[in-house]
């Protein structure tokens, strides 16, 4: 049975607060690039509006960087990297640590910026700030990870030495949904490991995804040229960043469609693509599940930050014996989630971040309802807001289930047996995250191992990330792994030096 829908949120007249008055803003405001340690004003470049998704109004401007800006950023990064690599590991770690402490100092400024630029609730801001500090702390530990390893040789009197060195220059292209964290999880370890960086943030979140990082590291004393931030439209400078001849690695987080283009451009230059892409993640609820825990996980995994995470629950796949109860309880919980201006600390659901994303979610929802999906709660949408929505009578081929909807929608699909559930979960090109609920943990483990994903969470939900644990997917969900020691595979090169200590007898 459908539950009562929420009313439209009301906003006060002061919602479009200017950004340049924040303590964290650099002198002169955010309307600048950051290249070679200098804040460079917009000048004769075009400008890009910073849009508040709650009001759908421009509240600031950043420069639309050019291909020439990208060239210069890579040139200074290349020049700065050799000297930075020679800096003692503990000194590199100290700079990252100082920047991490500034994240805490600017906590309230950043929480405000998340709301204004991302449409993120206070809960979302706290989660992202915790993750950001966590990934920086892990990066500090990586700085001193260049241990030389000795391996035995098959040749008498010979030693094999393996050691790591920085890869060089790292290009980073980051997304708009968790902009500070998803930029920092590449930038902080790259810098700590002795690399220099050129960062191109999303057009939609140029401040939190790029310029805020520049502010942090600038104040922390990072040498000029080690981090450079070029804001701009992906359609105009994305190829210049991804297909440049300078970087050794291109780190990209975003859609699979764009990721394929970025990966191809990087590979053309023999740069290593490190890609974390889309997902269509399944939350499997078995007949043996604890429904309290399954529903708790389902609500958090579907509606946090309006479902705008690559690891959000895209499909709830629920055994037919508990299907009706699960749908009813999920809908009841979703109907009570407070929606409105994310600057209100009681709000949990804010607006979708941009118009294109809003229109895409609405289209998938409407087409699925036309095909027979039933709205149990929510369904209304207006002015970039989409109510937390639970859908029943969904099958795996409907648009809202077959495609990554990236919104506050919870399609619930019934299954008869585990083989069918696994087949449905795996019936996608993506393979990022997943979750399984069963009080029989051994059985849940068997199911988890059959899911074709990079990550699975038993009796939890799909929305998990820990900075010290390998993060990444398979298939169309990406290449490589982030976090902890796994990011070292992306941002360092392994070299082999052998020493022939004793004379060797050759066959000729």
Residues 65 and 211 in one domain: yes
Co-location of 89 and 209 in the same domain: yes
Catalytic residue among 72, 310, 376, 404: 310
Residue 206, in any domain of the structure: yes
Can you give the pLDDT of all 508 residues of the chain as single tens digits? 334 444 444 444 343 345 777 889 998 899 999 999 999 999 999 999 999 999 999 999 999 999 999 999 999 999 999 999 999 999 999 999 999 999 999 999 999 999 999 999 999 999 999 999 999 999 999 998 888 999 999 999 999 999 999 999 999 999 999 999 999 999 999 999 999 999 999 999 999 999 999 999 999 999 999 999 999 999 999 999 999 999 999 999 999 999 999 999 999 999 999 999 999 999 999 999 999 999 999 999 999 999 999 999 999 999 999 999 999 999 999 999 999 999 999 999 999 999 999 999 999 999 999 999 999 999 999 999 999 999 999 999 999 999 999 999 999 999 999 999 999 999 999 999 999 999 999 999 999 999 999 999 999 999 999 999 999 999 999 999 999 999 999 999 999 999 999 999 999 9
Asked if residue 482 and residue 408 are part of one domain, the reply reads no
Q: Evaluate whether residue 247 is within a structural domain.
A: yes
Residue at 244 is within a domain:
yes
Q: Supply angle C-alpha 117, 405, 322, rounded to 5.
A: 120
Q: Decide if 339 is inside a domain.
A: yes
Q: Do the beta carbons of residue 3 and residue 376 sit within 8 Å? A: yes
- Would 65 be classed as within a structural domain? yes
**Residue 19: predicted pLDDT:** 73
pLDDT at 11: 42
256 and 213 in a common domain: yes
Q: How far apart are CA 67 and CA 240, in angstroms?
A: 6
Q: Does residue 504 belong to any structural domain of this protein?
A: no
Quote the tokens at residue 282: 């399944």
Question: What is the SS3 assignment for 330?
Answer: helix
Please pick, among 276, 376, 404, 490, the residue that the annotation labels catalytic: 276
Neighbouring residues of 502: CB distance < 8 A, sequence distance ≥ 6? 156, 157, 158
DSSP β-bridge partners for residue 374: 392
Shared domain check, 296 and 268:
no
Domain count, the chain: 2
Distance CA(278)–CA(274), nearest Å, equals: 14
Tell me whether residue 133 is in a domain: yes
Q: Among candidates 300, 315, 273, which has minimal Cα distance to 123?
A: 300
pLDDT at 18: 58
Could you confirm whether 72 is annotated as catalytic?
A: no
Give me the pLDDT at residue 293, please.
98
Helix (H) or strand (E) holding 33: strand 32-35
Residues 243 and 315 in one domain: no
Q: Do 409 and 313 belong together in one domain?
A: yes
Is 273 in the same domain as 190? yes
CATH number at residue 104: 3.40.605.10
**CA nearest neighbour of 238 among 255, 222, 220:** 255
| Same domain flag for 237 and 304 | no
CA dihedral over 384, 125, 307, 237, signed as positive or negative = positive
What pTM did the predictor assign? Answer: 0.95
CA-to-CA separations, 455 to 95, 111, 327, in angstroms, rounded: 32, 29, 25
Which CATH number do you get for residue 399? 3.40.309.10
276 is catalytic: yes
Same domain, 315 and 202: no
> Are 205 and 330 members of one domain?
no
Q: Which domain holds residue 370?
A: 281-458
C-alpha closest to that of 488 among 5, 48, 149: 149
Assess whether 258 and 349 both reside in one domain. Answer: no
In a domain? residue 44: yes
């Amino acid at each position: 049975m459908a539950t009562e829908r929420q009313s439209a949120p009301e906003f006060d007249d002061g919602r479009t607060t200017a950004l340049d008055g924040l303590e964290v803003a650099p002198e002169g405001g955010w309307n600048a690039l950051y290249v070679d340690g200098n804040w460079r004003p917009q000048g004769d470049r075009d400008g890009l509006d910073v849009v508040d998704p709650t009001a759908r109004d421009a509240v600031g401007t950043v420069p639309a960087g050019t291909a020439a800006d990208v060239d210069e950023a890579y040139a200074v990064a290349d020049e700065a990297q050799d000297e930075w690599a020679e800096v003692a590991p503990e000194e590199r770690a100290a700079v990252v640590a100082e920047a991490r402490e500034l994240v805490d100092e600017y906590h309230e400024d950043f929480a405000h910026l998340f709301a204004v630029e991302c449409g993120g609730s206070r809960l979302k801001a706290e989660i992202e700030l915790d993750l950001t500090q966590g990934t920086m702390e892990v990066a500090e530990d990586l700085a001193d990870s260049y241990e030389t390893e000795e391996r035995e040789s098959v040749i008498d009197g010979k030693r094999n030495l393996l050691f790591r060195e920085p890869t060089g220059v790292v290009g980073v292209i980051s997304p708009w949904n968790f902009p500070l964290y998803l930029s920092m999880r590449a930038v902080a370890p790259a810098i700590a490991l002795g690399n220099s960086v050129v960062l191109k943030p999303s057009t939609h979140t140029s401040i939190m995804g790029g310029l805020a990082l520049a502010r942090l590291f600038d104040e922390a004393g990072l040498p000029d040229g080690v981090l450079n931030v070029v804001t701009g439209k992906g359609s105009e400078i994305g190829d210049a960043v991804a297909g440049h001849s300078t970087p050794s690695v291109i780190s990209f987080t975003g859609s699979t469609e764009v990721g394929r283009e970025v990966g191809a451009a990087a590979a053309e230059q023999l740069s290593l693509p490190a890609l974390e892409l889309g997902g269509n993640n399944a939350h499997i609820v078995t007949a043996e599940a604890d429904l309290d825990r399954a529903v708790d996980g389902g609500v958090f995994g579907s509606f946090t930050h309006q479902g705008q995470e690559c690891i959000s629950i895209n499909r709830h796949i629920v055994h037919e014996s508990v299907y009706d109860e699960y749908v009813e309880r999920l809908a009841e919980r979703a109907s009570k989630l407070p929606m409105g201006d994310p600057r209100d600390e009681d709000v949990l659901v804010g607006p979708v971040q941009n118009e294109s994303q809003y229109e895409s979610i609405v289209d998938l929802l409407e087409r699925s309802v036309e095909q027979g999906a039933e709205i149990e709660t929510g369904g209304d949408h207006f002015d970039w807001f989409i109510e937390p929505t639970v859908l029943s009578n969904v099958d795996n081929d409907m648009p809202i289930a077959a495609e990554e909807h990236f919104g506050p929608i919870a399609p619930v699909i019934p299954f008869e047996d585990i083989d069918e559930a696994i087949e449905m979960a795996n019936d996608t090109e993506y393979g990022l995250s997943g979750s399984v609920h069963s009080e029989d943990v051994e059985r849940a483990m068997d199911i988890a191992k059959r899911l074709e994903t990079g990550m699975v969470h038993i009796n939890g939900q799909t929305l998990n990330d820990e900075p010290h644990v390998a993060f990444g997917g398979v298939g169309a969900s990406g290449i490589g792994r982030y976090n902890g020691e796994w990011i070292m595979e992306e941002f360092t090169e392994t070299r082999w030096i052998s020493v022939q200590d004793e004379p060797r007898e050759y066959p000729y």
